[in-house]
């Protein structure tokens, strides 16, 4: 279906499923493993004997993986590791008025990674979340993924490679609840990361009052901004590629070129996906439209993409020129765990920073008298007399 207008809302909003997901979350909190087994049979048609994947199961599954897939995983791992290592923050410090201060970056202790399943397999998600966690220094990594009774060989190989502590054979909202609150079999974590369907994202939103989350990531979104220098066949292929994630994918082409819009419309007319095709007067208007959507993926298929990038304010990840957006999903280096549902207006994609927390410190050994008097004055103004005395006792 072709719609020649900007989308008024996302194809599916997790607001529509919050009540149902809340019931699932509360049942897992109350009943633990029993609820997980019940929901897995109800939603996935699998009766679990054991929620945890054993070490023997992981090793046996990993041994089935072909050497070419192992090699691909190893190559991609190094690229992702280099990206996150290159942006890892240094310890920062300084001083003024006789006070030394700074930030120490400390890794989270326990992280849960949700690896989606269902119609498609996403072992790459375990790489995308696990590697920055390791670069940050996280010691305990746990993963949950719907297994249909057997763990995927690529997920098993990656889990061994990254030394994942435990893997759980559960998916959906119930998996998020289990990681957030813990059960007899599932370890409670400090933060949950990973993409997923609308139910998974709704569950992350619900549990975020009790546990950290990386953001809302799903369903997939792609906005392409194109001028007349672009290739309509490549544009259509890029739209179709993201459409592989399902009918809930948001697919938007904004172009200054009548030719590009016409050719893409002709190619897309036989697809069962929904495409939004928007005509822009110029590049500035096109990127303004894109910024208003704040998409997960933004592709700038224009003659001067670096110049266009300067106008981008809201996007999870941006590919430039004829770089395919799909390469972000696998091997470019930046993460494919990206904000959706307009969260790109205030949040970026997953990085090593998501697994670090800044702890500020200060040491006032011989502070300036003016600085101390200012602190005492403000404390008294706010009515905190003991605060002022605590400061004055040491320095006045």
What does the DSSP 8-state code read for residue 112?
A: E
CB 187 within 8 A of CB 110: yes
Closest CA to 131 of 111, 153, 104, 149: 111
CB 21 within 8 A of CB 206: yes
Q: Which positions make up the binding site for Zn(2+)?
A: 242, 245, 329, 387
336 carries an active-site annotation: no
Closest CA to 36 of 147, 197, 174, 201: 174
Q: For 297, list phi and psi in degrees, rounded to 5.
A: -110, 135
CB 193 within 8 A of CB 337: yes
CA-to-CA distance for 330 and 193, rounded, in angstroms? 17
Among residues 166, 217, 221, 296, which one is catalytic? 296
Q: Which positions make up the binding site?
A: 114, 174, 197, 220, 242, 245, 297, 329, 382, 387
The residue written with tokens 């430039």 in the block is: 320
The residue written with tokens 């609150």 in the block is: 181
CA-to-CA distance for 292 and 225, rounded, in angstroms? 13
CB 292 within 8 A of CB 312: no
Among residues 297, 307, 385, 393, which one is catalytic? 297
DSSP class per residue in 312-324 = --S-SEEEETT--
User: Virtual CA dihedral for 336, 338, 340, 344, nearest 10 degrees?
Assistant: -140
296 carries an active-site annotation: yes
Strand 99-107 to strand 92-96: parallel, antiparallel, or no bridges (unpaired)? Answer: antiparallel
CB 129 within 8 A of CB 112: no
Helix (H, G, I), strand (E, B) or coil at 92: strand
CA-to-CA distance for 46 and 386, rounded, in angstroms? 61
Q: Which positions make up the binding site for NAD(+)?
A: 114, 174, 197
CA-to-CA distance for 353 and 173, rounded, in angstroms? 25
Which residues does the annotation mark as catalytic?
Answer: 296-297
């Amino acid at each position: 279906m072709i719609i020649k207008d900007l989308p008024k809302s996302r194809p599916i909003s997790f607001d529509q499923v919050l009540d149902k997901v809340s019931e699932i979350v509360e049942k897992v909190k109350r009943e633990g493993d029993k609820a997980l087994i019940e929901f897995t049979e109800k939603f996935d048609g699998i009766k679990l004997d054991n929620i945890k994947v054993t070490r023997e199961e992981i090793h046996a599954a990993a041994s089935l993986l072909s050497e070419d897939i192992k090699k691909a995983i190893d190559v991609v791992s190094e690229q992702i590791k280099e990206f996150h290592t290159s942006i890892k923050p240094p310890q920062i410090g300084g001083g003024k008025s006789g006070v030394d201060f700074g930030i120490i970056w400390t890794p989270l202790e326990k992280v849960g990674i949700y690896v989606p399943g269902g119609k498609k397999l996403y072992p790459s998600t375990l790489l995308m979340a696990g590697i920055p966690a390791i670069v940050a220094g996280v010691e305990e990594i746990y993963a949950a993924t719907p297994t249909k009774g057997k763990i995927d060989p690529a997920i098993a190989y990656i889990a061994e490679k990254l030394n994942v502590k435990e893997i759980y054979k559960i998916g959906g909202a119930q998996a998020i609840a289990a990681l957030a609150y813990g059960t007899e079999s599932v370890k409670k974590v400090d933060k949950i990361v990973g993409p997923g369907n609308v139910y998974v994202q709704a569950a992350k939103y619900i549990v975020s009052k009790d546990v950290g989350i990386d953001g809302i990531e799903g369903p997939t979104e792609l906005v392409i901004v194109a001028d007349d220098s672009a290739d309509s066949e490549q544009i259509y292929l890029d739209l179709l590629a993201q459409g592989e994630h399902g009918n809930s994918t948001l697919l938007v082409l904004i172009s200054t070129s009548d030719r590009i819009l016409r050719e893409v419309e002709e190619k897309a007319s036989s697809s069962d996906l929904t495409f939004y095709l928007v005509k822009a007067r110029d590049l500035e208007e096109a990127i303004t439209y894109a910024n208003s959507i704040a998409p997960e993926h933004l592709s700038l298929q224009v003659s001067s993409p670096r110049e266009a990038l300067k106008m981008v304010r809201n996007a999870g990840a941006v590919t430039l020129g004829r770089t395919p957006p799909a390469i972000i999903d696998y091997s470019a280096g930046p993460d494919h765990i990206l904000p959706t549902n307009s969260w790109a207006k205030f949040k970026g994609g997953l990085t090593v920073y998501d697994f670090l927390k800044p702890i500020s410190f200060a040491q006032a050994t011989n502070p300036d008298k003016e600085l101390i008097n200012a602190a005492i004055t403000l404390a008294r103004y706010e009515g905190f007399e003991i605060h002022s005395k605590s400061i004055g006792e040491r320095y006045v």
